[in-house]
Amino acid sequence: MNVEPLLKIHNESCIKCYSCVRICPVKAIRVDVNTEFPSIIPERCIGCGSCYRGCSPGAISYRSSVDEAIRLLASGQRVAAICDPTISGEFHDITDYRKFVEMIRQLGFSLISETSFGVDLVARKYKEIFENFKGKYHISANCPSVVAYIEKYYPELITNLAPVVSPMVATAKVIRKQYGPDLKIISIGPCIASKDEALKYEGDAKIDAVLTFIELRELFSRFNIRESQLEFSEFDPPLGFKGSLYPISNGMLQGVDINEDLLTGAVITTEGRNNMVDAIKEFNSRIEKIKRHFNIFYDEGCLMGPGTSPGGEKFLRMTLVTDYANKRLIDFDKKEWEENISVFEEIDLSRQFIPDDQRLPVPAEEIIEETLSMINRLGEKDNEIGCETCGYSSCREFAIAVAQGLATTEMCHVFSGRNRQEYILTLRSTNENLAKTKAALKESEEKAKHEQEAQKEASDITSAMLQKLLSGVVIVDDKMKVVQSNRAFIRILGEEAALVDEVIPGLVGADLKTLLPVHFYKMFSYVLTTDDPIENKDVQYEDNKLGVSIFPIQSHKYVGGILRDMYVPEVRKEQIISRLTDVIDEHFDTVQKIAYLLGEGAARTEQMLNSIIESYKTRENK
């Protein structure tokens, strides 16, 4: 059967204060690393409700039985309420318990029985166990949170749990025997853990729903049931005797006169979260020295259970309980009670316990030390103690929890505070650098804006200049698409190019393959591929003769072409002058070479003649 978890944390209300982690006695609350929100681990939870009572934002709720109770009451079946005697301490605002009984009847219950008779039966079993000592000491099993704690965290002590059902279950057995097995039963009490305890029983012990006193008040409010509008009503028999003292931790013992004398008694009674943990720990390790049975309740007796209204005053509630018991006993019919005890004492009140070990293995020492190092506690003499704000008794226990995946380092307030300070300093430095970067970026943006404007102006001037040129100019990319061209280029290409220009101004994006013949187009492709320019090449294009120069602009990406119509007068004149100049330069080079050769021969002749003259003069002188 799938049942929703007993307790749940609602992230939308959670403020991540981790008070629930600190108060949980079994560390059944894990902090998710990804969200940092705590979450309850159902299999580790013992249903004590400490987290629910300790959550100031009200972000934790327990499984409600209100709707289930309403459904049962509207089903047409007989439904009985078994009511915990803690009502006397909880409902101090109701003047007479008989009015309280009638208020419950008005909800639709067929029968209302007080759990005190079940307490009487259970107490007699405990008296028998405690006084007929056979060498084994026992722990009381009345509190479901205590039972769950032992089953999950001290399973080796299961055989020491008294094998007796709780008063709630005992009462269910009694009234089914009295009023019929088909009876539906709703338990009303101060305990949250009883909701899970009830799921363990079937048959005559079955509890169909468990309402807390808080939920009972909700039902009274929903159906507008008020004491002032009602008459008196009594509980249905069998009635309890001193079982009405059960809400007080040692009330059950006193109800059957179990010896609690400090010198001669064999039972120790304790209550409260820390006392419960310490008591079971010492029972496990020191029972041979202690030599006592343990009567343990998680809360400070049922008086202060998590299902009672918040803000209750313990000693006022204790007084109300004892006053209620005394009032009941004034005209109590003890003979009838004894007869009922003899009728029902043969009911089987035995039970068994199931080990459910939830203890986590202790991590390796190096992992613990690594975690201590992360929170800067490695090597510290006081890592065996701590501030406990994280919810753990020492820095070492916290490090173990982190290694087990139950906690995160951010839960350590000292570590988080130090990280926060470092973060603030880093953030301040980052903000200063960011301000400087922002100023530099603004300056850079201004500069880039001016440069962009200058580039646009230069581009506009260049484009205007290109349009003024008589020669055709075209720039193409590596896909042989026109990037830019001037009017002269379009004019040279002819009417088809002019038509394209009307649709695509400047032929931008036009494919050069569609504009030029193959032999002409391949010249552009050649330059784009090889990066070798073609200079002053005569190309026949339709009826024109063009002077073509093609050159790379950006390697393998862009090339430019200059086309000159050789038949345009200005170009023809320029070409004639250019070519005459080339011829003159060529002839001048030839003349220079001839002159050089003639000059060189004349020099050798002059040298030879001078040599002859000098030789002749020498001979004449002799």
Report the alpha-carbon distance of residue 473 to residue 484 in Å, rounded. 8
CB within 8 A of 147, min separation 6: which ones?
141, 161, 197, 353
Q: What local confidence, expressed as pLDDT, does residue 591 receive?
A: 46
**What's the pLDDT tens digit per position in 101-144?**
999 999 999 999 999 999 999 999 999 999 898 899 999 999 99
Per the CB < 8 A criterion, the answer to whether 307 and 49 are in contact is: yes
- Examine the domain organization and report whether 129 and 7 are in the same domain: no
374 inside domain? yes
Same domain, 464 and 494: no
| Whole-angstrom distance, CA of residue 492 vs CA of residue 620 | 83
Whole-number pLDDT of residue 585: 59
Rounded average pLDDT over 348-371? 88
E strands, 509-613, are: 534-541, 544-554, 558-565
210-232: average pLDDT: 92
CA distance 33 to 12: 17
In this structure, the answer to whether residues 177 and 225 fall within a common structural domain is: yes
pLDDT of amino acid 514: 83
Residue 569 pLDDT: 63
Last residue of a domain, which of 548, 567, 586? Answer: 567
Question: What SS3 class is residue 454?
Answer: helix
What was the pLDDT predicted at 427? 65
Length of the chain: 622
Q: Among 229-233, 528-532, 588-592, where is mean pLDDT lowest?
A: 588-592
Selection from 87-101, 175-189, 384-398, 461-475 with the highest mean pLDDT: 175-189
The pair of structure tokens assigned to 358 is 């939830």
User: Contact, 591 vs 513, CB < 8 A?
Assistant: no
Which percentage of the chain shows pLDDT scores above 70?
85
Q: Which of 220, 196, 221, 218 is nearest to 207 (CA)?
A: 196
Grade residue 501 by pLDDT with cuts at 50, 70 and 90. confident
pLDDT for 589: 62
Residue 491 CA to residue 472 CA, distance in Å, equals: 8
- Whether the predicted pLDDT of 622 surpasses 50: no
Q: How many domains does the chain divide into?
A: 5
- Report residue 91: phi and psi, to 5°: -95, 60
Instruction: Examine the domain organization and report whether 144 and 180 are in the same domain.
Output: yes
**pLDDT at res. 556:** 87
Q: Model confidence at 465, in pLDDT bands (50, 70, 90)?
A: confident
- Best-predicted range by mean pLDDT (198-202, 400-404, 426-430): 198-202
pLDDT in tens, 1-21: 578 999 999 999 999 888 888
The answer on pLDDT for 219 being more than 90 is yes
What pLDDT is stored for residue 214 in this prediction? 95
Encoded tokens for 237: 């028999």
> Is residue 101 one of the residues assigned to a domain?
yes
Amino acid (one-letter) located at 382: D
Q: Is the distance from CB of 181 to CB of 160 less than 8 angstroms? A: no
Q: What is the mean pLDDT of the chain?
A: 84
- What average pLDDT does this structure show over 576-589? 53
Domain boundary among 409, 429, 449: 409
Those residues with Cβ within 8 angstroms of residue 383's Cβ, 6 or more apart along the chain or in another chain: 372, 377, 394, 395, 396, 399
As a dihedral over the C-alpha atoms of residue 407, residue 409, residue 412, residue 415, rounded to 10 degrees, the angle is: 180
In this structure, is residue 622 part of a structural domain?
Answer: no
Q: 327 is written with which tokens?
A: 């009032």
Task: Give 161-189 pLDDT, tens digit per residue.
Answer: 999 999 999 999 999 999 999 999 999 99
Mean predicted confidence (pLDDT) in 534-545: 81
The span from the CA of 291 to the CA of 280, in Å, is: 13
- Our CA angle for 28, 30, 33, nearest 5°, is 170
pLDDT (tens digit per residue) in 136-161: 999 999 999 999 999 999 999 999 99
Helix H, strand E, coil C: the string for 41-96 is CCCCCCCCCHHHHHCCCCCEEECCCHHHHHHHHCCCCCEEEEECCCHHHHCCCCCC
Q: Which two tokens stand for residue 103?
A: 């208020």
Q: Does residue 492 sit in the same domain as residue 552? A: yes
pLDDT band at 583 (very low <50, low <70, confident <90, very high): very low
Section 188-201 average pLDDT: 95
DSSP bridge pairs for 558:
477, 554
Q: Please give the residue range of the domain that contains residue 97.
A: 64-344
Phi–psi pair at 355, nearest 5 degrees:
-65, 140
What residue has token string 């079955």?
A: 206
Mean pLDDT for 519-539 is 86
- The verdict on 92 and 216 lying in the same domain is yes
pLDDT class for 547, splitting at 50, 70, 90? confident
376 and 517 co-located in one domain: no
Condensed to tens digits (0 to 9), the pLDDT of residues 587-604 reads 556 546 554 555 555 555
203 and 258 fall within a common domain: yes
Residue 609 lies in a domain: no
Any domain includes 140: yes
Q: Are residues 422 and 502 in the same domain?
A: no
- 75: left (phi > 0), else alpha (psi -120 to 50), else beta? alpha
Q: Is residue 325 part of a domain?
A: yes
User: Residue 319's pLDDT is what?
Assistant: 92
Mean pLDDT of 375-395: 63
| 93/144 same-domain check | yes
| Structural tokens at position 287 | 């029972």
472-477 and 482-485 beta bridge pairing: antiparallel
Q: Is residue 585 part of a domain?
A: no
Each residue's pLDDT tens digit, 30-84? 887 777 889 999 999 999 999 999 999 999 999 999 999 999 999 999 999 999 9
Domain endpoint, select from 15, 32, 63 = 63
40: CATH? 3.30.70.20
Q: Please report which confidence band the pLDDT of residue 573 belongs to, taking 50, 70 and 90 as the band edges.
A: low
Q: Are residues 71 and 11 in the same domain?
A: no
Residue 596 lies in a domain: no
Residues 255 and 130 in one domain: yes
> Exposed, middle or buried, 549 (CB in 10 Å: 0-12/13-18/19+)?
middle
210 contacts: CB under 8 Å, gap ≥ 6: 65, 186, 187, 188, 189, 191, 194, 195, 198
